[in-house]
Amino acid sequence: MNAAVPAFSFRFRVSRLGALVRREVRDQFRDWRVVLPLVILTLFFPVLMNYAARLVINYVNQYGGNVIAQAIFPFLLMIVGFFPTSVSLVIALESFVGEKERYSLEPLLATPLTDTELFLGKVLASVLTPLCAAGLGIAAYLTGMYFLAGWFPPLPLLIEILVLTFAHAACMVSAAVVISAQTNSVRAANLLASFVIVPAALLLQGESIVMFYRMYRELWWIIAGVLILTVIFLRIGLRQFRREELLSREVEEIRFDRMGSFFWRSLTGGARTPAEWYRKAVGPALVRTLPAVPWTAAALGFGAIAGVFLANRFPFPADLLKLQNYRQNFFDSLGALGFFTPGGTLQIFFHNAQAIFLASVLGAISLGIIGLVVMMLPIGIIAYATVILARGGFAPGLFLLGLVLPHGIVEIPAMILAGAAILRCGNCLLAKPEGRSLGQLWLQALADWMTVLVGVVAPMLLLSAILETWVTPLVASWVMGW
């Protein structure tokens, strides 16, 4: 008896989820604003892509460019699958806030559905229709290309594009459902949709470069990244979704005075002296940032692995690896670059600060992900240079000891802490609300980011710049025997 209860309750939850999905799909096909664009994109867009492919074939055949045509066909296949999913975002954007404006949300909230079932049901219903449309469009395009040019993609490439189409749809829809659950009008949801469409379009441009260069295996990394983003959006939705707040959420008035006072309290901790600020604000902010440190360290480690991989794939010519050719240039460049001068110290410090600021801005619009990519670049360059010099006969340990360790012993931990603060600020919506609004969550994370950077990272970067300017050149010349 006891063993049968969980199985029964699980089937019961699945049945309730299926009932909600069926209800949502029926409502979608009753709305001509949803059906008409889907029909047009599903039937007309593949025909348009087939016509474009025909023009490409006729043009490149004049110059013997059949290879170009073979690279464009998979790209057009990816576009055919992407466009129906992007236009169908209106389904996801209206999933909650549209029902609120149509006064059909109250009966839905009165059902025995849990918050998790309600949110996941909306996501599944919103993603089914665009996926079906994308599948029909891909089938129509492949049929036309087979009869037009006798082209059909290899099975691994077809599977890859189908998985990529599913990843695009799931990622955009899950983000749109989160927006719909947190806004109070369809107009506001449609305005916020640009935060979904614009990054998706930029991602599509990057994928098009991969497709044109026919780097199909590398496309799996993009698919993995998009699926990880989907999981993140789903977690944000499940963490932030509260059915009792859907009806009570009204138009939120922007009060800059309240926002400013809350941010100032979070930033200063009510301290009046620097020592008190470190105790009341910097210490707690650092404790809240520490859980993101392992993720940042793992990202920097992955950057080092990427640097080693690129060094093996793009090696330097052997004659450029003779270090004796650079001995005189090494000493001449010390003065030109500002080493052993206070100006050089400030120049290095501001350069590192600018890099962290750029990573922070990019991380704020990408859940912290692009910020970590920026932080990975210096580590990747160091790993790349280590492998290249090792091939030239220079011991990797001596290179790291002479050119990296003297200041890296301070700079690398500073980068890890900065990356952790950026990551936490970028994905602050993953935190539990605990009675706070989304604005308060973001302001608290922003205050912690600024506190950690000003109170901990900036002094470490200044110390690192001093070591890099005054100590690293001496250690490097001693290690190299110059």
The 10s digit of each residue's pLDDT in 5-38 is 444 344 446 777 788 888 888 877 776 666 777 7
Average pLDDT, the chain: 79
Condensed to tens digits (0 to 9), the pLDDT of residues 67-124 reads 566 678 888 888 888 887 776 677 787 777 777 777 777 777 777 888 888 888 888 8
The end-to-end CA distance of the chain, in Å, is: 81
Question: Residue 132 CB: number of other CB atoms within 10 A?
Answer: 15
State the sign of the Cα–Cα–Cα–Cα dihedral 422, 424, 430, 432.
negative
Condensed to tens digits (0 to 9), the pLDDT of residues 121-157 reads 888 888 888 888 888 888 888 888 888 778 888 898 8
Which stretches within 88-218 are classed as H helix? Answer: 89-93, 97-101, 105-109, 115-149, 155-182, 186-192, 194-212
Across residues 189-197, what is the average pLDDT? Answer: 74
Place of tokens 């859980």: 291
289-317: string of b/e by CB count within 10 Å (b at 16+)? beebbebbbebbeebbebbeebbeeeeee
Give percent of the chain with pLDDT exceeding 70: 82
Measure the CA angle with vertex 291, ends 384 and 167; round to 5°.
70
Q: The tokens of 407 are what?
A: 């200041």
Most confident by average pLDDT, 193-197, 203-207, 280-284, 366-370: 280-284
9-48: string of b/e by CB count within 10 Å (b at 16+)? eeeeeeebbeebbeebbebbeeeeebeebbeebbeebbee
Q: Is the pLDDT of residue 249 over 60?
A: no
Q: Tell me phi and psi for residue 169, to 5 degrees.
A: -65, -45
DSSP 394: -
Residue among 337, 463, 359, 338 nearest 412 (CA) = 463
Cα–Cα separations (whole angstroms), residue 163 to 226, 301, 478: 11, 28, 54
Q: Residue 463's pLDDT is what?
A: 95
Q: The tokens of 384 are what?
A: 């790349």
Q: pLDDT confidence of 186, banded at 50, 70, 90?
A: confident
Q: pLDDT confidence of 4, banded at 50, 70, 90?
A: very low
Q: pLDDT confidence of 281, banded at 50, 70, 90?
A: very high
- What's the CA gap between 406 and 400, in Å, rounded? 9
Q: pLDDT confidence of 211, banded at 50, 70, 90?
A: confident
Cα–Cα separations (whole angstroms), residue 294 to 297, 376, 419, 460: 5, 14, 10, 19
Give percent of the chain with pLDDT exceeding 90: 13
Residue among 407, 339, 401, 398 nearest 378 (CA) = 407
Q: Are 404 and 471 in contact (CB under 8 A)?
A: no
Cα–Cα separations (whole angstroms), residue 346 to 341, 353, 410: 9, 10, 16
Q: Is the pLDDT of residue 477 over 50?
A: yes
- What's the CA gap between 73 and 229, in Å, rounded? 28
Residues whose CB falls within 8 Å of the CB of residue 314, separated by 6 or more in sequence, listed in order = none
Q: pLDDT confidence of 462, banded at 50, 70, 90?
A: very high
Place of tokens 């360790």: 405
Question: Residue 64 CB: number of other CB atoms within 10 A?
Answer: 8
Estimate the share of the chain in helix, then strand, then coil, as percent rounded to the nearest 5. 85, 0, 15
Window from 197-211, 259-273, 331-345 with minimum mean pLDDT: 331-345
Q: Residue 8's pLDDT is what?
A: 38
Q: Are 392 and 376 in contact (CB under 8 A)?
A: no
Alpha carbon 35 to chain centroid, angstroms: 31
Using DSSP, state whether 324 is helix, strand or coil: helix
Q: The tokens of 68 are what?
A: 């170009």
pTM of the model: 0.70
Q: Residue 1's pLDDT is what?
A: 39
Condensed to tens digits (0 to 9), the pLDDT of residues 336-387 reads 566 778 888 898 999 999 999 988 888 877 777 788 888 898 999 888 888 8
Q: Residue 456's pLDDT is what?
A: 94
- What's the CA gap between 224 and 230, in Å, rounded? 10
Residues whose CB falls within 8 Å of the CB of residue 421, separated by 6 or more in sequence, listed in order = 289, 292, 448, 449, 452, 453, 457
Q: Residue 238's pLDDT is what?
A: 80
Q: Residue 321's pLDDT is what?
A: 57
- What's the CA gap between 26 and 304, in Å, rounded? 51
